[in-house]
């Protein structure tokens, strides 16, 4: 076979390498290796970008306890990567072809020295006839600091190694002009720069693997703009690679023609070079100087204009949000947080209007005294200056933070996750249009790119950013706390308990438990564990009856499970394990534990609390008072659900986060909590003895 290209990169997706049960499909992997070996022996240099490490790991180990998303990925990939590369090694060895493993991280593409080191390593491998097997090093990755997926990684590798062609293997034949399940659709054989991708790729997912096709198409277009031929094809089709190289015109695929290198620099879809991050931070710092000079009524007028603009651009924002949703499985606990609706945008806009109606937090005299020597001393509230926020898939945070920072006189630097990139940019674009209309600097509200480089820069933005607030998973918050060199306020995970006392009202209790658990399961104030007094186990079926209608899975200890058997759907009733307690489920799941009295309930909460929100249901005033006194949490409830832990519900209009620490701010953080103060001293010539 005469080689079509001198050097190619082949991206093999996890949906190609795995069976329906999620385990590694060795037969398919072997078939692909056979084809790669044929191309290799025909004279083509080949780089393989392969998924499959996590799938390999899942088939080898059952975790000893419940793990969060990051821990699972790290465990499975650490084990699975060894199995995956060993499988490649054995399969290629049968053809007499050496392979080498290249594990990379996103920083390697933003640091010149790391970039050149990795490029040199892979060049040496190719020069010596070794096929690089490339994958992201998930063992040291954090969800907000990763490549979007291996499609993005394959694009980076393709440009780094100057390949002539990139082949992206999925589990369907290419990009269709509609739903592949419908009989009247067909594959788009060619997609050119001027074609509208959104006209073909619908925002909804399908069972045929079109979830993620938007990302593949976007990456393919960008790589083609660099003068590289790109094919999207079906990796489960027999002989797909050899057929594609020999007969691309007749092999099912979608083809992205390469740009002419002579004109590619002027192509309209190429993004301009991003400004240096230190230049961005300098611009934000400069923009922040003008905010405290605005009259309060000017700021309020600005906020009302932003709220109105958000509502006017609802359709545009929802269209961008659908692009984000298309890349995420609906079963992902973050999906509900990511999803925007007309009603949610309306509520977000109302939250901004509420912030506008609140009194200004600036210029308040917090303390005042005149000393015996005549010195007049005041402590006055002032703006922080620049506030940075790192957050995950929650586009509502973008608007809430911008509104609160503007009202409190601070500029803000927003670092959202890649999951919500389109939504965040749409919202910030609307805010920028209003800032333009008011003659204010756009850098007053700055959205950083969702990259590791931006995260690292923000964590160390001393002299630029005065305060950093992380919002998201415990892993993200721990990472920020450990790595940041600027002041941080923690907004921790919410592991929330409700104790139903022997003196609790069962009707109140049932309503409180249901609302706390099911109002929105993906938020930090959702209920995770119900503690029930042993004397009230006979009332447990009535307490949990509303949960059954919401299909909540209960992980109950033995006494609670026996009380619920026959009264709660059997398929939703599971035995509790030690890992059931202290878990933030973010799902329709809840733990139940039987306790004997208030002392045992308090001991359980002390052991497992995240210091977020805790609740007691009781009609005993003394018991309620002791619970309020002894529970160490930001928010302590008596006969009300933890779902009320929210800045809007507390009359703050919106919140910048729920602080679970004790320094400076605790609980929902509104306007007062995101200001600081300075001392103003006035004398009349006094000197100190």
Tokens of 527: 């209920």
Give CA–CA dist 437/271, Å, rounded: 25
Give CA–CA dist 669/675, Å, rounded: 10
- Is the Cβ–Cβ distance between 680 and 368 less than 8 Å? no
Give the model's pLDDT for residue 515.
96
Nearest 5°: CA angle at 529, between 476 and 646? 60
Distances (CA, A) of 613 to 135, 286, 601, 654: 40, 38, 14, 18
Give CA–CA dist 306/397, Å, rounded: 15
Query: Is 50 exceeded by the pLDDT of residue 338?
Result: yes
Give the model's pLDDT for residue 156.
87
User: Which residue ranges make up each domain of the chain?
Assistant: 7-266, 277-489, 496-668
Q: What residues contact 285, with CB distance under 8 A and at least 6 apart?
A: 385, 386, 411, 464
Query: Is 70 exceeded by the pLDDT of residue 82?
Result: yes
SS (H, E, C) 64-115: CCCCCHHHHHHHHHHHHHHHHHHHHHHHHHCCCCCEEEEEECHHHHCCHHHH
Q: What is the rounded end-to-end Cα distance, in angstroms, of the chain? A: 95
Strand 527-533, strand 589-595: pairing: parallel
- pLDDT single digits (tens) 286-319: 999 999 889 999 999 999 999 999 999 999 999 9
Mean pLDDT (the chain) is 86
Give CA–CA dist 66/583, Å, rounded: 8
Give CA–CA dist 220/192, Å, rounded: 11
Task: Write out the DSSP string of 191-259.
Answer: --TTS-GGGTS-SS--TTS-TTHHHHHHHHHHHHTTT-EEEEEETTSTTHHHHHHH-TTTSS-EEEPPP
Query: Is 90 exceeded by the pLDDT of residue 437?
Result: yes
SS (H, E, C) 511-574: HHHHHHHHCCCCCCCCEEEEEEEHHHHHHHHHHHHHHHHCCCEEEECHHHHHHHECCECHHHEE
Torsion of CA 90, 93, 98, 101, to 10 degrees: -10
Give the model's pLDDT for residue 637.
96
Listed ranges 158-172, 247-261, 547-561; the one with the highest mean pLDDT? 547-561
Give the model's pLDDT for residue 272.
44
Can you tell me whether residue 269 is helix, strand or coil? coil
Query: Is 60 exceeded by the pLDDT of residue 672?
Result: yes
**Range with lowest mean pLDDT among 29-33, 55-59, 602-606:** 55-59
Query: Is 50 exceeded by the pLDDT of residue 269?
Result: no
E strand or H helix at 457: helix 452-459
Q: Which class does domain 7-266 fall in?
A: alpha beta
Give the model's pLDDT for residue 139.
65
The stretch 251-279 carries a mean pLDDT of 64
Torsion of CA 281, 286, 287, 289, to 10 degrees: 130
Give the model's pLDDT for residue 197.
57
Tokens of 255: 């083809």
**Range with lowest mean pLDDT among 98-112, 122-136, 359-373, 497-511:** 98-112
The stretch 191-206 carries a mean pLDDT of 57
- pLDDT single digits (tens) 565-618: 999 999 999 999 998 998 888 889 999 999 999 999 999 999 999 889 999 999
The stretch 655-672 carries a mean pLDDT of 82
Give the model's pLDDT for residue 146.
53
Listed ranges 108-122, 483-497, 524-538; the one with the highest mean pLDDT? 524-538
Query: Is 90 exceeded by the pLDDT of residue 526?
Result: yes
Closest CA to 308 of 398, 410, 399: 399
The backbone torsions φ and ψ at residue 309, rounded to the nearest 5 degrees and listed phi first, read -65, -35
Q: What residues contact 28, with CB distance under 8 A and at least 6 apart?
A: 16, 17, 235, 236
CA atoms lying within 13 Å on the CB side of residue 527: 34
Question: What kind of architecture, by CATH, is found in domain 496-668?
Answer: 3-Layer(aba) Sandwich (3.40)
Tokens of 404: 């609160």
Give the model's pLDDT for residue 145.
45
Tokens of 70: 């990051």
Query: Is 50 exceeded by the pLDDT of residue 379?
Result: yes
- Look at the chain and count its residues: 689
**Sheet with 99-104: strands ordered across:** 99-104, 131-136, 45-50, 7-12, 165-170, 229-234, 254-256
Give the model's pLDDT for residue 204.
38
Higher pLDDT among residues 15 and 356, named by residue: 356
pLDDT band at 408 (very low <50, low <70, confident <90, very high): very high
Give CA–CA dist 242/257, Å, rounded: 19
Give the model's pLDDT for residue 107.
65
The yes/no answer on whether domain 277-489 falls in CATH 3.40.140.10 is no
- Is the Cβ–Cβ distance between 423 and 327 less than 8 Å? no
Strand 229-234, strand 165-170: pairing: parallel
Give CA–CA dist 18/670, Å, rounded: 47
Q: Which pairs count as long-range contacts for 112-120, CB under 8 Å and 24+ apart, including other chains? A: 115/160, 118/160, 119/160, 119/161
**Range with lowest mean pLDDT among 10-24, 436-450, 508-522:** 10-24
Q: Is the pTM of this model over 0.85?
A: no
- Is the Cβ–Cβ distance between 137 and 130 less than 8 Å? no
pLDDT band at 207 (very low <50, low <70, confident <90, very high): very low
pLDDT band at 368 (very low <50, low <70, confident <90, very high): very high
**Range with lowest mean pLDDT among 238-252, 309-323, 433-447, 481-495:** 481-495
The stretch 259-285 carries a mean pLDDT of 63
Query: Is 80 exceeded by the pLDDT of residue 665?
Result: yes
Query: Is 60 exceeded by the pLDDT of residue 203?
Result: no
Q: Which conformational region is residue 555 in: left (phi greater than 0), alpha (psi within -120 to 50 degrees), or beta?
A: beta
- pLDDT single digits (tens) 172-182: 888 887 766 67
Give the model's pLDDT for residue 57.
73
Give CA–CA dist 434/311, Å, rounded: 13
């Amino acid at each position: 076979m005469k080689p079509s290209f001198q050097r190619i990169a082949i991206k093999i997706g996890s949906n190609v390498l795995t069976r329906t049960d999620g385990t590694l499909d060795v037969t398919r992997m072997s078939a692909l290796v056979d084809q790669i070996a044929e191309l290799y022996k025909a004279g083509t240099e080949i780089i393989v970008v392969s998924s499959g490490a996590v799938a390999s790991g899942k088939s080898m180990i059952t975790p000893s306890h419940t793990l969060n998303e990051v821990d699972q990925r790290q465990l499975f990939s650490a084990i699975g990567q060894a199995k995956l590369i060993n499988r490649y090694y054995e399969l290629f060895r049968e053809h007499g072809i050496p392979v080498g493993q290249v594990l990379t991280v996103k920083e390697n593409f933003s640091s010149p020295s790391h970039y050149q080191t990795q490029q040199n390593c892979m060049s040496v491998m190719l020069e010596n006839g070794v096929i690089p097997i490339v994958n992201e090093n998930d063992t040291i990755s954090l969800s907000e600091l990763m490549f979007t997926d291996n499609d993005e990684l394959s694009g980076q590798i393709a440009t780094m190694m100057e390949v002539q062609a990139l082949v992206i293997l999925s589990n369907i034949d290419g990009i269709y002009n509609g739903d592949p399940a419908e009989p009247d659709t067909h594959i788009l054989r060619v997609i050119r720069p001027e074609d509208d991708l959104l006209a073909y790729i619908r925002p909804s997912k399908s069972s045929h693997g079109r979830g993620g096709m938007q990302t593949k198409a976007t990456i393919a277009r960008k790589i083609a703009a660099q003068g590289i031929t790109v094919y999207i094809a079906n990796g489960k089709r027999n002989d797909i690679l050899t057929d594609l190289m020999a007969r691309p015109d007749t092999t099912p695929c979608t083809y992205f023609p390469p740009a002419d290198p002579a004109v590619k620099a002027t192509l309209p879809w190429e993004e301009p070079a991003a400004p240096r991050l230190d230049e961005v931070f300098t611009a934000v710092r400069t923009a922040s100087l003008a905010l405290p000079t605005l009259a309060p009524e000017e700021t309020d007028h600005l906020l009302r204009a932003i709220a109105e603009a958000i509502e006017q651009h609802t359709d545009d924002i929802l269209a961008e949000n659908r692009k984000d949703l298309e890349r995420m499985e609906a079963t992902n606990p973050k999906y509900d947080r990511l999803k925007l609706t007309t009603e949610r945008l309306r509520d977000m806009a109302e939250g901004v209007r509420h912030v506008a109606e609140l009194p200004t937090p600036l210029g308040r005299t917090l303390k005042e005294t005149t000393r015996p020597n005549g010195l007049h001393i005041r402590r006055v509230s002032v703006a922080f200056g620049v506030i940075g926020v790192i957050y995950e898939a929650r586009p509502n945070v973008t608007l809430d933070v911008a509104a609160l920072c503007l009202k409190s006189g601070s500029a803000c630097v927003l670092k959202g996750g890649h999951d919500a990139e389109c939504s965040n940019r749409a919202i910030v674009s609307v805010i920028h249009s209003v800032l333009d209309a008011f003659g204010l600097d756009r850098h007053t509200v700055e959205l950083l790119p969702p990259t590791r480089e931006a995260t690292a820069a923000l964590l160390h933005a001393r002299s630029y950013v005065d305060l950093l607030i992380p919002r998201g998973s415990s892993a993200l918050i721990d990472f920020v706390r450990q790595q940041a060199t600027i002041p941080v306020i923690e907004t921790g995970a919410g592991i929330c308990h409700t104790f139903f006392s022997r003196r609790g009202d069962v009707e109140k209790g049932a309503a409180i438990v249901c609302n706390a658990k099911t109002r929105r399961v993906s938020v930090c104030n959702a209920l995770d564990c119900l503690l029930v007094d042993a004397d009230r186990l006979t009332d447990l079926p009535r307490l949990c009856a509303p949960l059954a209608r919401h299909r909540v899975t209960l992980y109950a200890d033995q006494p609670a499970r026996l009380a619920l058997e026959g009264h709660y759907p059997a398929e939703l009733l599971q035995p509790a394990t030690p890992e059931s307690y202290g878990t933030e489920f973010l799902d329709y799941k809840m733990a139940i534990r039987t306790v004997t009295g208030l002392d045992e309930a308090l001991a359980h909460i002390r052991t497992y609390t995240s210091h977020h929100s805790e609740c007691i249901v009781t009609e005993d005033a003394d018991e309620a008072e002791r619970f309020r006194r002894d529970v160490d949490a930001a928010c302590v409830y008596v006969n009300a659900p933890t779902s009320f832990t929210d800045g809007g519900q507390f009359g703050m209009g919106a919140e910048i986060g729920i602080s679970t620490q004790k320094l400076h701010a605790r609980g929902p953080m509104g306007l007062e909590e995101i200001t600081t103060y300075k001392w103003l001293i006035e004398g009349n010539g006094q000197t100190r003895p």
